[in-house]
Amino acid sequence: MAAWVWAMLSAFVLLHLLQKLFNSKRKTKKRNMPPGPRGLPILGHLHLLGKSPHRALHDLARKHGPIMGMRFGFVPTVVVSSPEAAELVLRTHDVTFAGRPSQDAFHYISYGQKNLAFSPYGPYWREMRKLCTVELLSTAKINQFLPMREAEIRLLVGRLREAGERGEAVDLTTMLLSLVRDMNCLMLFGRKFGDDAGSLDDREFKEVILEASELGAQFNIADYFPCVGVFDVQGINRKMKGLAKIFDRFLEKIIDEHVQNRNRNRNKNQQQRGDDAAEDFVDTMMGILESGRATFKFDRSHVKAILLDMLIAGTDSSATVADWALAELIKHPEAMRKLQKELEAAVGMGSMVEQRHLERLEYLDQVVKETLRLHTIAPLMLPHESLEDCDLKGFHIPRKTRIMINIWAIMRDPSVWPDPESFVPERFAGGGKRMDVTGQHFELIPFGAGRRSCPGRQVGLTAVKLILSQLVHCFDWELPNGMKHADMDMAELFGIVTGRIEHLNVKPVYRLLSQ
């Protein structure tokens, strides 16, 4: 028998013994823990998750309650599935549950958890979030890149118009991903992929981003069975190490290019790119590094960790929201027409949409909110971890308990959302449904809430609204091969970002009077 098989058998025997010891200690200390389903020895409740964990956990919560106790391997876990319970975790006891569990695979692509998403809660995380919020994600910084965003969207409109004139169907899902990727890369690095000779070519870049997202969505045995984790039986850690090397090689080259440019321009009165050119994020981060303004140790690894955080988090999410929204509008022609009428009134049939128009587009806002509610792109959020013992609505939550917030279930709660499975943007029109998505209304928290909410929310929302409004205003969309709207496949593919399984293949028909 192969050596690795003996090693695995030995590890599982050890696990079984540790499980018995673990359970015996819990019996002596057991307090009022949240209710939950019966688990299996060693595995706990891992076998109940299936291919769509957010749906499986939603079904279990309907039986066991909105604060549900579970165990994944050796990791005690609480699953939260109602707005009231989420408010307790993310507002009332926000500091207590602000921790992040250590996750093996992410350790490698976060430079030892130096990024915002996975960094442990504490002074370093607070200072890094403050730095990023002020220096990189402020409204002023976002607005600096407005001309770039509008220019990239116009390039996409031009390509779609040419395809429409030829009567061709396009893979809009892929085109949206490329658009958002290019916008993010220009904002982060000052150039798109394919420009010059980069460390990654265009195809390889898309592949490594996709692989990182897919690996990150998998349940890694190493996170739940530390004794088995050293064997890396799924190969996830090994693959993440390989991706981390690719990303690091790429980021090092980008940073070196920026350092060389800064040195060449250091003694000049203005940079060669001109006074009106927006500093990209690498320029800003390297300026902080060189100035010593950071109140903590700040080196290249921190710069790379934040850049990679924003690159991976920002590439898929905005494109996926825009893809879901367009798919729902095409599937519901009456909603598409209503949005087009609003755009005609606000913008006119002789002009394209500009960012200044967005604040007047109320139905666009409703469409985006309903898309975020119905198609939660991060249905389970990133897990939290309790930093100390806590009482949660009468239940005892021990320190180091993992907290999973099922925002997919929260935003389909029938007691809050009538007919929750239907796409109805009008539910946000007036009355008590004038909710925002900033984390103040716990019935609608697509970006999370509290200290660990998504800091890039405004960047993402601005991009989605610009893309969606432009494509709806400029084009009518026809389904190919005689497909009917009712036949569109809206099945989802679970991941860190949960998108549609089927790509959106459609025929664009240009509808503006000029341009």
**Sequence spans of domains, the chain:** 31-510
Residue 411 has a pLDDT of: 96
Res 198: pLDDT: 47
Percent of the chain whose predicted confidence (pLDDT) is above 90: 55
DSSP letter assigned to residue 297:
-
Q: Given this model, what pLDDT does residue 266 score?
A: 64
**pLDDT for 331 beyond 70:** yes
Q: Rounded to a whole number, what is the distance in angstroms from the first to the last CA of the chain?
A: 71
C-alpha angle 383-388-390 in degrees, rounded to nearest 5:
90
Phi-psi region of 448 (alpha: psi -120 to 50; beta: other; left: phi over 0): left
- Report the percentage of the chain scoring pLDDT > 70: 88
Closest among 113, 117, 172, 120 to 310, alpha carbons compared: 117
Of residues 221 and 93, more confidence is placed in 93
The SS3 call for residue 449 is coil
Kind and range of the H or E run holding 510: strand 505-510
At the fourth CATH level, which superfamily is domain 31-510? Cytochrome P450 (1.10.630.10)
pLDDT band at 509 (very low <50, low <70, confident <90, very high): very high
Question: At 89, phi and psi to the nearest 5?
Answer: -75, -45
If we measure between CA atoms, which residue out of 310, 405, 376, 496 comes closest to residue 98? 405
Residue 11 or residue 458, greater confidence: 458
Q: Report how far apart, in Å, the C-alpha atoms of 415 and of each of 84, 231, 480 are.
A: 12, 46, 39
Whether the pLDDT of residue 6 is over 50: the answer is no
CA angle 307, 309, 311 (to 5 degrees): 65
pLDDT of amino acid 148: 92
Is residue 272's pLDDT more than 50?
no
Query: Model confidence at 194, in pLDDT bands (50, 70, 90)?
Result: low
Q: Which position has the higher pLDDT, 2 or 152? A: 152
Does pTM top 0.85 for this prediction?
yes
Pick from 66-75, 127-136, 288-297, 301-310: least confident: 288-297
pLDDT band, very low/low/confident/very high, at 290 (cuts 50, 70, 90): confident
Highest-scoring range by mean pLDDT, 26-35, 294-303, 394-403? 394-403
**Per-chain mean pLDDT for the chain:** 86
Least confident segment among 61-75, 188-202, 369-383, 462-476: 188-202
* Confidence category of residue 166, pLDDT binned at 50, 70, 90: very high
The mean pLDDT value for 506-510 works out to: 97
Closest CA to 233 of 498, 13, 11: 11
Which pLDDT score is estimated for 137? Answer: 87
171 neighbors 265 (Cβ within 8 angstroms): no
| Predicted local confidence at residue 28, as pLDDT | 38
Q: Mean pLDDT, to the nearest integer, of 192-197? A: 58
Instruction: Classify 404 in phi/psi space as left (phi over 0), alpha (psi -120 to 50) or beta.
Output: beta
pLDDT at 200 over 90: no
Q: For position 414, what pLDDT does the model report?
A: 93
Query: For position 294, what pLDDT does the model report?
Result: 75
